[in-house]
């Protein structure tokens, strides 16, 4: 089942913060985050494997709330290079394939000068 991402789109000025959410109706084993710039391939950002886990990559971090079946991606002090579409991909705790990521519809992030 496809995870639900929110918001669908967000526009920021450089230096502002943003949060992108990814919710699932199924219990999750892992959540993966990717960023795709226009005309390019998706680029892996991070995987969250355990409930409550938080990870960071420079000014981009994420959390995974197992009970809420939700992950959030935090972009701090956004840069122009952060612009793109952010996808979360989920692997269910049971009943799914470990090979198959189900992607959300994406969140279009635009950072303006």
Partner 1 sequence: DTEVTQTPKHLVMGMTNKKSLKCEQHMGHRAMYWYKQKAKKPPELMFVYSYEKLSINESVPSRFSPECPNSSLLNLHLHALQPEDSALYLCASSQDPRESRAERHNEQFFGPGTRLTVL
Q: Which is nearer to partner 1, 16 or 96 (CB)?
A: 96
Does the footprint of partner 1 cover residue 74 (CB under 8 A)?
no
Q: How far apart are CA 46 and CA 53, in angstroms?
A: 12
Q: Which is nearer to partner 1, 74 or 103 (CB)?
A: 103
List binders of partner 1 among 11-70 (CB under 8 A).
29-30, 32, 34, 40-44, 47, 49
Which two three-digit tokens encode residue 25? 């109706």
> Which ranges constitute the DSSP H helices of 1-113?
none
CB proximity list for 21: less than 8 A, separation 6 or greater: 5, 6, 70, 71, 72, 73
Residues that bind partner 1 in the complex, under the rule CB under 8 A: 29-30, 32, 34, 40-44, 47, 49, 87, 91, 97-101, 103-106
């Amino acid at each position: 089942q496809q995870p639900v991402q929110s918001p669908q789109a967000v526009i920021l000025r450089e230096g502002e913060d943003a949060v992108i959410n990814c919710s699932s109706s199924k219990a999750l084993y892992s959540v993966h985050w990717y960023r795709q710039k226009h005309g390019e391939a998706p680029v892996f950002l991070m995987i969250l494997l355990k409930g409550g886990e938080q990870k960071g990559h420079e000014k981009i971090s994420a959390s995974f709330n197992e009970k809420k079946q939700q992950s959030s991606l935090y972009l701090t002090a956004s840069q122009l290079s952060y612009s793109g579409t952010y996808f979360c991909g989920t692997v269910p705790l049971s009943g799914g394939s470990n090979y198959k990521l189900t992607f959300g519809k994406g969140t279009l992030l635009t950072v303006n000068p």
